[in-house]
Amino acid sequence: MNATKKTRTAAVLLCVALAMSAGGCNNAAAPDASPTPETSPSSDASSAPQDTVPEVSGEEKALNIFTWDGYFPEDVMNDFTSQTGVKVNYSNFESNEEMLTKLEAANAGDYDIIVVSDYMVEIMAKRGGLLAELDKSKIPNYANLDEAYISQFYDPDNLYTVPYGPGSPLLIYDPATCPVKIEGYADLWDPQLEDSLALMDSARVIIGITLKTLGEDFNSTDEAALERAKEKLIELKPNIRTMSVNQLQEAVLSGEASVGFLFTSQVATAKTMNPDLEIVYPKEGLGFGIDTLAVPLNAPHKENAHVFLNYLLEGETAARVSTQIQYLCPNTAAQEFLPDEYRNNPAYAIPGDLLKAADFAKDVGEATALYDKIWTEFKQA
């Protein structure tokens, strides 16, 4: 579910706290409290993992990444350039839809690595001719990936993608100021919470959790069910204090809102800044999303792209990335490098059984127009 938004704030305060208390990711922590489901490493690779970056081929030493703003840690990218001589260039987009439009345009050959959210991978695969199949023989560190994050609905045969930023939006509240105990999405409608909610501005996610409170599927395409969800969503309007995608945790930290439904990185930051806040795994079930990395079919530097993916999948590198972008770590080899502050934060340490049962926001086809109409009517109510 983090797929449909994304806030890309660096959350500098958390990174500083991690660096000061744990020396970054270099102080190894015991791997027995992994924040991801305990599964064995994937065997979907042609050779064993390696910890060194192989030499780059005779291609031009450049790598062009199309990404959300601030989604690749600068120090990690600088190390890649130091080790390979490959200069990393960035172009940013605001939405998956914008990324798709540009990829389909005449300049489709401009990018070597693209960030693609789960549902958009599914859409792109259906259209065909957009994504290159990965050469796993050139990504031996693919074997480091936790099996819980591969073979997903959007890429069941693991042909095109590498999981990069998994996350689950969660409820968080201040017991000292919240008049009710928060246990699930349905509690957001409590009249005692008038003008006190901070919610992510995401149509698919908010409509999805509203459907869940009605006992419906998160990705329902049933018109009657969606009409009921619209009516119930409009009933939530008086309780909403603010909706946004950026820095939403500030509303909870400042006391402007007593309850928040926030993106993973925002929940983690809020909990770090105020340990007294309570994080809630909603009783109706979690939502979930995975941002992935893929190589466009017409990428000009495919060899460099594979070297880059292999570099990101090294254990220590993966730990550095996850602690800085503040999403779940999908890499089993990274667990020993994750600091305690990360591993013990409930925003990341989500039980595996809950993640396994979580809902992805999937492509709803023609019903997308109905979701958009509901969201417009809700905003205008």
- Per-domain boundaries in the chain: 2-166+290-340, 170-285+359-380
Residue with tokens 């990690």: 76
How buried is 229 (Cβ within 10 angstroms: 0-12 exposed, 13-18 middle, 19+ buried)?
buried
**Amino acid found at 44:** D
Tokens of 153: 């609905």
**CATH code that applies to domain 170-285+359-380:** 3.40.190.10
Residue from 137, 125, 130 nearest 114 by CA:
130
Which class in CATH covers the domain with range 2-166+290-340? alpha beta
Q: What is the pLDDT of residue 12?
A: 35
- For residue 119, give Cα distances in angstroms to 4, 58, 123, 205, 259: 8, 35, 7, 13, 28
**Contact between residue 139 and residue 311 where contact means Cβ atoms under 8 Å apart:** no
The angle at the Cα of 145, spanning 139 to 149, to the nearest 5 degrees, equals: 125
Q: What is the pLDDT of residue 58?
A: 67
Residue with tokens 């500098």: 12
What are the two backbone dihedrals, phi and then psi, of residue 106, each rounded to the nearest 5 degrees?
-65, -20
Instruction: Establish whether domains 2-166+290-340 and 170-285+359-380 are of one fold.
Output: yes
Helix (H, G, I), strand (E, B) or coil at 343: helix
pLDDT, tens only, 321-338 = 999 999 999 999 999 999
Q: pLDDT averaged over consecutive 10-residue blocks of the chain (381 residues)?
A: 43 36 31 29 39 60 95 97 97 92 78 96 92 97 96 97 97 95 98 98 95 98 98 98 94 97 95 97 97 96 98 98 96 97 95 94 94 96 90
pLDDT, tens only, 153-202 = 999 999 999 999 999 999 999 999 999 999 999 999 999 999 999 999 99
